[in-house]
Amino acid sequence: MQSLGLSIAGIVAFGGVGGIAIGFAARELVANYFGAIMLFLDKPFQVGDTITSPEREIEGTVLEIGWRQTIIQRFDTRTLYVPNAAFATISVRNHTRQINRRIYEYVGIRYDDSALLEAIVSDIKSMVENHPDIDQSNSIMVNFDRFAASSLDIFIYCFTRTTAWAEFQAVKQDVLVKTMDIVNSHGAEIAFPTTTVNLPTETPLRVITNEGD
């Protein structure tokens, strides 16, 4: 072409710029492709699994794993399309593969009920250890844990047998209601934020009426 008097400098320049543009455009496509390969090989999740990511707003059930993107049905029924390359840089929690769900709660009783504390803790622990929906082969802890601002806090830590979210909530509710019943059966009360004002006994009190002192 040069021998015919045609300059190829413009063609070379155009080809270089075009190559760079295509390279940038293809970068994400290649990254998503290799991300899909990683998902198929490592299998951190599969279709039907419930997953969440603490680093991104990703939560829901996996509907489809494609070569470019993964489709997730969020818990609010909206559909989320996630590029596969994103899973190479974030951590993912697969809730479907867990074997238990954890109950991690604090229950506070009043300072006025401190004399009943040991008996209450003992009864709550016995209730949890004999609960049919609590996994007895896993860790169970029921202890007086701390002096809070307005309560004596009892720590309840155990694992349910079920991993289904709705069933877990029902078991957790049952444990908490039974805990409240135990507190009430001892004549104690669940604490709530209170403020106590102590006045010196020698401080005279003035009674003010509409007519004056």
- The three-state DSSP-derived secondary structure of the chain is CCCCCCCCHHHHHHHHHHHHHHHHHHHHHHHHHHHHHHHHHHCCCCCCCEEEECCCCEEEEEEEECCCEEEEECCCCCEEEEEHHHHHCCCCEEHHHCCCEEEEEEEEECHHHHHHHHHHHHHHHHHHHCCCCECCCCCCEEEEEEECCCCEEEEEEEEECCCCHHHHHHHHHHHHHHHHHHHHHCCCCECCCCCCCCCCCCCCCCCCECCEC
Q: Give the residue with greater pLDDT, 159 vs 210.
A: 159
Name the residue ranges covered by the structural domains of the chain: 10-97, 101-185
The topology (CATH level 3) of 101-185 is Alpha-Beta Plaits (3.30.70)
If we measure between CA atoms, which residue out of 79, 74, 43, 41 comes closest to residue 60?
74
C-alpha–C-alpha distance, residues 108 and 131, integer Å: 21
pLDDT of residue 54: 86
pLDDT of residue 142: 97
Average pLDDT of 168-189?
97
Residue 35 clears pLDDT 60, i.e. is over it: yes
Long-range contacts (CB closer than 8 Å, 24 or more residues apart) made by 5-14:
none
Q: Count of CB atoms within 10 A of residue 61's CB?
A: 17
pLDDT of residue 33: 85
pLDDT of residue 16: 58
Q: Print burial letters for 71-85: b (CB count within 10 Å at least 16), e (below 16).
A: bbbeeeeeebebbbb
pLDDT of residue 5: 58
Q: Which residues contact 64 (CB under 8 A, 6 or more apart)?
A: 47, 70, 71
Q: Count of CB atoms within 10 A of residue 8's CB?
A: 10
pLDDT of residue 29: 80
Residue 199's pLDDT band (boundaries 50, 70, 90)?
Answer: confident
Residue 32's pLDDT band (boundaries 50, 70, 90)?
Answer: confident
Q: Lowest mean pLDDT: which of 28-32, 61-65, 71-75?
A: 28-32
Across all residues in the chain, what is the average pLDDT? 87
Q: pLDDT tens digit string along 92-111?
A: 999 889 999 999 999 999 99
Residue 207's pLDDT band (boundaries 50, 70, 90)?
Answer: low
The topology (CATH level 3) of 10-97 is SH3 type barrels. (2.30.30)
pTM, two decimals, is: 0.70
Q: Give the residue with greater pLDDT, 15 vs 198.
A: 198
